[in-house]
Structure 1
């Protein structure tokens, strides 16, 4: 009788336990369009990788077309100060010139669903320019990913103010280009996804990064991680800031 009661109590406790929390991860690979054989390894990754293509690269349009045909989300990897080049945004430029460069960049990279910033530690701290950009992206029906290359960024905050579909990066994979360091960063992202429900990861098409991703991404599901595309991640987060980006869901 006592054994039966203990079994019933254990079964009741099991039934009362909450279901495991969902843990989502999205992956963006930046700096694409420079080297087709290398970049095609990104398209071969076994899941919904987002391809961030630079407008001032020799294969930008061709690779955007290939990524689109492969069913990958394409975003414009927009150069911003301290980046240089014909498309780069700088704080001293008037809005008219920022618009001209943005138009040219979108023309160089077809099939874009949104943009994220390439570099931009100076530019993303400019409230007026970022407010203009978010309104322009909303007009174009594009989303924004804040790469968060600076703690002073106001880009996501300006997007949130007008309800533009947006999300912010949590983890950079490959600031240190060794497979051990990249594997550690990927595990950091997995742990963060488990803790806060989701993680947005940005990497680059370095040989070391691609080797780690080719090996580790197929193992995500067994670790309880759902690898989802960036558009679904925006929906999951509902434009709310994570703890590392703000307070009570509001970007600071």
Structure 2
């Protein structure tokens, strides 16, 4: 009886060994993209951004002394170049303001694109008042569609309608999730980076924006090489647009639609 039981057990084990393997679940992906704003002011400082170990996106201001030169350097380094477009309350010859007619907005946008070559898209510099202007944002998104450029909503205001207008016409676009350096200390910047990493694991992706402050660059130089070990895929902003498929994250809208 005991021998019969052992033989039966061995047969069951053999059958299990030849059974179809159980379905495997693909590992959860966590994607991160990084944009550095306010570039073009200081070449030695800004070149530290180009030396960061991965696909950092460079956002260059048109009214800076080295805008064109740094855009060329970033392009040669294989980095994505964006126009960091000044918007109210920003000031200067390129800045958009709500009271300006569309003709003047177009004139300033044309001049900004000429000042920053090799641009693939734009994001707003400041813009808390301007990005709340529905008609101007609708015009901008249609103009970017015509120019084959993408748009990144920096989300400097909870009242922004920019990403919503981009989504309406299917313009390639994503929104910022985490500002790294509102508080300019290494400890605070490190905390914000960890917030972005946690968010990427939670919702599948996160878009970070930082600035070329010494504290920010020190944290990024130290921590970015560790991303892979933390289960993060660092991808460029164009691939992030594809990953998100123009859908709003939970913090930006509901059911994929920007509010």
SS of 2:120's equivalent?
A: strand
Deviations 1:74-124 (A, max 9, x none): 000000000000000000000000000000000000000000000000000
- 1:120 matches 2:127: yes
Confirm or deny that 1:55 pairs with 2:45.
no
Q: Give the Cα–Cα distance (whole angstroms) in 2 for the partners of residues 19 and 28 of structure 1.
A: 28
Cα deviation 1:198-251 (Å, max 9, x = unaligned): 000000000000000000001101111000000000000000000000000000
| Structure 2 partner of 1:178 | 185
Per-residue CA shift, 1:49-87, capped at 9, x if unaligned?
A: 000000000000000000000000000000000000000
**Number of the residue aligned with 2:91:** 84
> By how many angstroms is 1:16 displaced?
5.2
Counterpart of 2:156 in 1: which secondary structure? coil
Give me the TM-score of the superposition, normalised by structure 2: 0.92
Q: Indicate the residue corresponding to 2:3 in structure 1.
A: none
What TM-score do you get using the length of structure 1 for normalisation? 0.95
- Separation in 1 of the partners of 2:88 and 2:184? 23
Equivalences for 1:1-252 in 2 at 5 Å? 15=22, 18-252=25-259
- Tell me by how many angstroms 1:18 deviates: 2.6
Equivalent-residue separation in structure 1 for 2:65 and 2:22 (angstroms):
58
- The DSSP-based 3-state class of the residue aligned with 1:20 is coil
2:24 & 2:242 partners in 1: Cα distance?
27
**Helix, strand or coil at the partner of 1:158:** helix
Unaligned runs of 5+ residues in structure 2 are 1-5
Aligned equivalents of 1:147, 1:98: Cα separation in 2: 19
Distance 1:32 1:15 in 2: 51
In 1: Cα distance, 2:204 partner to 2:195 partner? 13
C-alpha distance in 1 between matches for 2:27 and 2:183: 33
CA shift digits 1:115-135 (9 cap, x unpaired):
000000000000000000000
- Report the Cα offset of residue 197 of structure 1: 0.4
Structure 1 portions without partners, runs of 5+: none
Larger radius of gyration: 2
CA distance in 2, matches of 1:28, 1:216: 15
**TM-aligned CA deviation for residue 20 of structure 1:** 2.1
